[in-house]
Amino acid sequence: MSNTRLFQGSITALITPMDQYGEINFEELRHLVEYHIKSGTDAIVSVGTTGESATLSIDENVKTILKTVEFADGRIPVIAGTGANATSEAITMTKLLAGSGVAGCLSVVPYYNKPTQEGMYQHFKAIAESTDLPQILYNVPGRTGCDMLPETVARLAKISNIVGIKEATGDVSRVAKIRELAGEDFIFLSGDDPTGLESMKLGGHGVISVTNNIAAADMAKMCQFALAGKFDEAEEINQRLMALHTDLFVESNPIPVKWAAYKLGLISNPSLRLPLTTLSEQAQPKVIAALKHANLL
């Protein structure tokens, strides 16, 4: 199967379920994997931003990814979140997953230390050269404090196992620019739910989605329609989900989506690791309204 076929459509940025003490609940993780397989989700990102990678230890990161692969049992591709702001740590994480059965890795632009474009290029080049696993770049300036420009993406696209990008700027003009510079075979995945469908209309291959955690079947159908060029049908679903696309970010992700998953009975506890805290009482009605608008409540 080509990388484009493997990494397209509705991909969930999976939450990491936890108990009231902040310990990972692997039994509920198993249930979430089954939910996505039954709902038609195309792939799972395990331990990305939405999976609270920043507050899990390397051991916990790797164990959660390996458990996700085990539970998926070859029925759905699992993409491992392996990003770090230290290149050496990202390489360590990537190497620990060699031969694990992951379909590829999602690696975020280094956060906090704000590298230059050349620093970003060297960072991702070093990671790619340390592994045979396909690498998907992840650009999310709102979290990292710096923006990887399309010209840098194009340089990285020349490295054989750097196969695509999750672009979370919400700037849909990036689709055409990256396709022009990196080639149409380079996978473009939106990391911004509100503009995900628009990016697919312009040639994007899919969405790595937060909304997908709680509206998996709808997101799968929307992306199927979009990939088939049936944009009117896709738009109908997208409009119903638009309040979720926006209001699941009423507080820092994954605070709202974990609370929504709890309200829908997908997880038994909305717990997060500090410094993240449970959705505030004043924000809860907004998420409830979005769930109702999406016909989920």
Active site positions, annotated: 138, 166
DSSP string over the chain: --HHHHS-EEEEE----B-TTS-B-HHHHHHHHHHHHHHT--EEEESSTTTTGGGS-HHHHHHHHHHHHHHHTTSS-EEEE---SSHHHHHHHHHHTTTS---EEEEEPPPSS---HHHHHHHHHHHHHT-SS-EEEEE-HHHHSS---HHHHHHHHTSTTEEEEEE-S--THHHHHHHHHH-TTSEEEE--HHHHHHHHHTT--EEEESGGGT-HHHHHHHHHHHHTT-HHHHHHHHHHHHHHHHHTTSSSTTHHHHHHHHHTTSSS-----TT--PPPTTTHHHHHHHHHHTT--
Residue stretches of the annotated binding site for pyruvate: 50, 208
